[in-house]
Each structure stands twice: as structure tokens, then as C-alpha cells.
Amino acid sequence: MFVRLFISLFIVLVVYFASSRIEKKCTMKERCQTIFSPAWIVRILILYFVLLLMGERGTILLKGISFLFSFAVTSFIVFSLLSVSAESLRKRYEAKTVYALWLLPNLLYFNFYWTSSLPVFRPLFVFCISHETLFRYIMIAWFVIGSLILMGNIISHFRFRKKLDESLYELRDERILSLWNKKQEEYEIKESKRIPIYTSPSISSAMTVGAFYRNTILVLPEKEYTDDELDMIFSHELVHIIREDGMTKLYMAICKAFNFFDPFIYSGTKKCCQDIELACDQIVLTDADEKTRRDYGKLILSSAGEEEGFTSNLSADGESMRYRLMNILEPKERKKGAFFLSVCALIVLLIPDMFGVAYHKQNAEKLFFNGNIDYENASVRQEGFEIPGIFYRNADKQALISFLSKIDVYEIYASKNFDGESVCVRYLMDDEYREIEFNSRFIVFHDQGKDRTYYVKEGIDMDLVKKMCER
């Protein structure tokens, strides 16, 4: 319990102070920072799968299924709740805070692998799957369908990019280039990382194209803009670029693909796009006067267009226009929401500890003993924080085997360490020592350096186990 409380408090404090620190930044680049970077999606996923492949091969499928399950549950909860409460949250909190809420499932990528070694990682609500073959087919079908949908979104983006590339030509207007370079300097973009700018007759609104920074470009339509209008356009698009909103669109595509069964995911992704633009407007118009806000609103109205692929437009669509113009022309004081955001982050980080999936139903006695045991050198000991290392001799081993023969266990991806009292049975089989560790609803099987965690749906009578061990 202490470990759980300590980790929870630490997470709340880190998110709270990080959110508060971002609000105090004064330069434009610092104001663009977001606490939950969407770039984590690719980087942490790559790291996670590398670590997964480096681990024990027998647990790869179990870890993969558990990760997909946790991802689906987390994104389902986040997108469902935010879809219902988005409008009320926008009235209460700043746009940057609401935007950050949509990115909360990103924390799962960082959290899932590392917490599996902590006692805190033990699901409270476990879904037990008895029909293993059917479950595997369902998981395979889910993964294949989700992958095909995601692949379709990626192909659609590349088709749009290819079509756009055919009409692109390099912008050579010295006035525009000078303003663009000056604005990039203002946003502290290094010369080696400058974003190229193009123009195209096939678009009606300025847009940033590309999910990855190194492939990002800015495209302007063939329109005449004043210097003030270009300044606002460049500020808007640089905020998108620095915040990596193209990566956020990729993240939403992943959530939408693997939660295709969630009716809220479709409205949720649209509202997330709206909050991306609202957060961008908030940053661009920081300390802006009334005239600048009116001019910015007029520019958005004259640039309305639709997004395609992983792009960010100056004005995404007509549906979000009402929210944006209201916030631009009549800005209201809203809460920063640092504490609220930290509490939401804590809840998301604890979702793998609240919901889990277990499958591969087996009989405990056949799994652990298999009728082949040498009792002569066997021993039984009880372990816990209060009474560590106390050994018990002459345990009723036959009663223990009879007890296990009545228990069915399900394999689960969960911690192999207990944060409370446990009873551990040590025995000899095939000249090797094995251990069975009991703790309320879980059993950990230590077998020749390979540890597996199992879930007992009906729970374990710990008093009965202790009684057999204390004989």
C-alpha cells in the first residue's frame, strides 16, 4: 500500500509542477510546449517492442495482448468521457489543458512496461477468458482490422501528399521568405532545422503537412497576403509544428483504428481536432489586443477548409468555427487546470492497475506439480512485510495438493512481486527447486528462473493455506 501511495503522489506532483512551469514560460517556443508530447507514441512504442522482444519469448504474446487490452480500455475511457464533457470542459479550463487531456493515453506507452515489475501493478478487475482459442481468434481479428484501418489512413495521407506534391512549387517571393525566416528565428527554430515553404494552387488555406518533423513542410495557397496576415499565419503554423500536431493526428488515427467498435471515438477525434486549433489560437493570441484578435478572426473566416491526412490547417472546418471565433473575439478567463490535469493523469496511469485480462485456463495442481514431486527436502515458509523469513516445517503437503486440484488459474500479465503478506511453498522436482507463492487472488510460479503470474477468479482462502503450512 505504501508503494502504491508513494507512486501516486509522485505522479501527481510531477504533472502538477510540470504544467505550472510551462505556464510561466515567456518565449514563444516555450509557450508552445506541451506536457504530454505526442512524439512519445513512436519513440516509446519502439522502445517498448524492443524490450518486449528482448524478454522471455513465452511471455511475448501475453504482454502484447495485455498491452493492447490496456490501450483499448484507456483510450475508450478517455475518448468516451471527453466526447461527452468536451463543451463543459472548454468553458471551465484553458484550451491547452483540454488539448492535453486528449493526449493522456500516451502515458500508457511510458507506464505499461516499467510498472509491471512493481507490486502496484495488479489489476483490481480482471476479465477471465475461458475459451482460449476463440479469444485468440478475436484478438487476431481485432488486430488485423485495426491495422487495416490504420494502414488505410496512412495510405490516404500519402495519396494526398503525392497529389499535393504534383502541384507544389518552391516559393521565391523574397518578402514572404524574409518574413518566414524572421518568424522561425522568433520561435527559436535552428537554421539546420528550418521548415521549407511552398505554394500550391490546389489548396485554399495555409497548411502544415507531415507527421514527422523532418518531413514537415508549410504550404501557402496562391493568394495575396499582407505582412500582418502572413505574420499571423506563420505564428499559427509554427505553433502546430513545434507542438508536433501532425504526430497528434497520427496518434488519433491509431486510437480510431484500434477502437473502431467505440461509437465515441469518431466524435472524439473530431473534437480533439477542434481543441488542437483552440489551443493553437490561445498561444498565438497571448497578450494580443482587440484589433489583432479581430484581424485573426477575419483571416480564419476567409481561410476555411478541410483537412486531409496528417495535416494542420489555419482553419480546419466550419464545425469548429463557432468555438474558435467565440474564444478569439470574446476571450474569457479560464482556469489553468494544472491540478485537474495531474489527477486525470494519475487515473490513466492506474488504469492497467484497475483493469486486466487473463486467459489460458488451467488446473493449478496439474500445472504446478504434474504428479512428479520429491517431498523429502521440501519446505514451506510464510513471507510478508511484518514477519519476513519465518519457516514452517512438516506442512500438510497432500492437503495442499488436494487444495490446488480444486483451483483453476488463468495466465495474466501482472507483477511478480507482492506488496502484502504471502505464503510461499518451495518444493523439489526434476532436481530443481520450484516455488508457488500465494496472495489473495494471485499465484506466482517460480520455475527455474522463469516466473509466471496466474489469476484465481474465485480468490484464494489464505487462512486455509496458512493452516496447511503451519501443521
Q: Could you read off the pLDDT of 94-110 as tens digits, one per residue?
A: 888 888 888 888 776 65
Grid cell in block for residue 262: 467505440
Q: What is the DSSP letter of 195?
A: P
Cβ pair 449, 408 in contact under 8 A:
no
Packing angle, helices 132-167 and 60-92, rounded to 10: 60
CA distance 167 to 184: 25
Segment 170-193 shows an average pLDDT of 85
Q: Please write the tens of the pLDDT for every residue from 338-357.
A: 888 888 887 887 776 777 88
**Tens of pLDDT, residues 106-120:** 776 655 544 544 545
Which residue's entry shows cell 519469448?
57
pLDDT more than 90, % of the chain? 1
pLDDT tens digits, 26-42:
666 667 777 777 666 66
Of residues 107 and 190, more confidence is placed in 190
Confidence at 394, pLDDT banded by 50, 70, 90: low
The answer to whether residue 184 scores a pLDDT higher than 50 is yes
Q: Exposure of 252 by Cβ count < 10 A (0-12 exposed, 13-18 middle, 19+ buried)?
A: buried
CB 45 within 8 A of CB 112: no
Three cell numbers at 428? 523439489
Give the separation between CA 94 and CA 90, rounded to whole angstroms: 7
The secondary structure of residue 15, as a DSSP letter, is H
pLDDT tens, residue by residue, 137-152:
887 888 889 889 989 9
Q: Output the pLDDT for position 149.
A: 92
Confidence (pLDDT) at 30: 66
What pLDDT is attached to residue 383? Answer: 54
Rounded distance between C-alpha atoms, residue 252 and residue 200, angstroms: 27
Q: What is the pLDDT of residue 373?
A: 54
Question: Mean pLDDT in the chain?
Answer: 76
Residue 332 CB partners (closer than 8 Å, separation 6+): none
